[in-house]
Amino acid sequence: MKNIYNWLWMVGLLASACTSVQTTVTNGNPSDSLATANTKELYHKLIVQVEKGIMIGHQDDLAYGHGWYGEEGRSDVKDISGHYPPVLGLELGDIELGRACNLDSVYFDAMRRYVQQTNARGGVTTFSWHGNNVVTGGNAWDCDQDSVVRAILPGGVHHAAYLARLDHVAAFFSSLRDEQGNLIPVVFRPYHEHTGSWFWWGAKQCTPEEYKALWRMTVDYFRHEKDIHHILYCYSPAETMDERQYMERYPGDDVVDMVAFDAYVPNQGTAADLALYKATMQRNLDILATVATATGKVATIGETGYEGIKDSRYFTEIVYPLLQGRKLAWVLFWRNAYEADKGHHYYVPFKGHPAAADFVEFSQKEGVLLNTP
């Protein structure tokens, strides 16, 4: 099987190199020709839905919130709006180590339940993965090396060890099933923010060719070795300056279903920082629109937010004008930390916060979509 896998990986890599992403457009189906019926249904739903509005997403929304952890049925978004967000973001970091919970102490067994609940409400779950550094034993931010990606590709000294880590991720994805035993389709956003250099897969840590090979190796391994066909793959760099930079590490239309980017209000969140954020978001939304049209992929905002939400009109006066007229599946705001020493680390208001009413007003704007309870 190993020889067959390596052969398939090499064929896929060569095919990617010969394919122009500017000329291939979607046929309305996921990139995986063997995608499950439910996965095709989800993808079609997203294609239609972008014409109707942009869904609100929140990282770890069902797992914890500002000042609470693991309260079944609770959600900071629901606490202030009466609705669960239609998009739930979850994090897989540490699953590759065989641990019971992730790097934010969310148990994977609980995640399965959250995925089921979100799916039953008609929502979508999207996963990020801050995978640990298999070469050094450090975390995802251990990025002083420029040889990690090379070492885990086929032929690399750590290739087998990395595949063993992918096995843990694959086993989790294969366990995501509804009450009838059907696989629940989800979105996977691996190796994100790769245009930055703060992760071991970042721009200074590997070449564009190595990054593409890592992406293709992961997708091909899941599809051909693990028979996983219920994932939509989302390509999500950090902020970029132009289309060329955005597409420099794009791995190919046959292994990508969605295109996105991550961008946050920088520094201390001053008025000047907010002005920079608006300019960055505007530029990257324009780039994303061009890329989505050229590739035929569904566009979304992978991560964004304003830590501490110091401007009580952030959602209606900053975010909403940026989103108006955009064809995006969703905008995902980052997590509301539960830890006592991280009281400032939140990106969606909670009960009693000065921006709570503004968030509710934003959620009721034309073109913004929020689930029913």
Cβ pair 313, 358 in contact under 8 A = yes
Residue in 91, 96, 225, 303 annotated catalytic: 303
Q: Which two tokens stand for residue 360?
A: 């509710």
Which burial class, exposed, middle or buried, applies to 160 when counting CB atoms under 10 A from its CB (0-12, 13-18, 19+)? exposed
Give 19's strand partners.
Answer: none
Q: Which two tokens stand for residue 338?
A: 């539960």
| Annotation marks residue 303 as catalytic | yes
Residue in 91, 96, 193, 210 annotated catalytic: 193
Q: Which residues contact 3 (CB under 8 A, 6 or more apart)?
A: none
Q: CA 26 to CA 257: how far, in whole Å?
A: 9
DSSP string, 314-325: HIIIIIHHHHTT
Q: CA 178 to CA 117: how far, in whole Å?
A: 9
| Annotation marks residue 91 as catalytic | no
Judged by DSSP in three states, 66 sits in coil
- 133 half-sphere exposure, CB direction, 13 A CA radius: 21
Q: Which residues contact 124 (CB under 8 A, 6 or more apart)?
A: 42, 46, 55, 57, 86, 87, 88, 118, 186, 187, 329, 330
Q: Which residues contact 350 (CB under 8 A, 6 or more apart)?
A: 65, 66, 67, 76, 79, 80, 336, 356
As annotated, the active-site residues are 193, 303
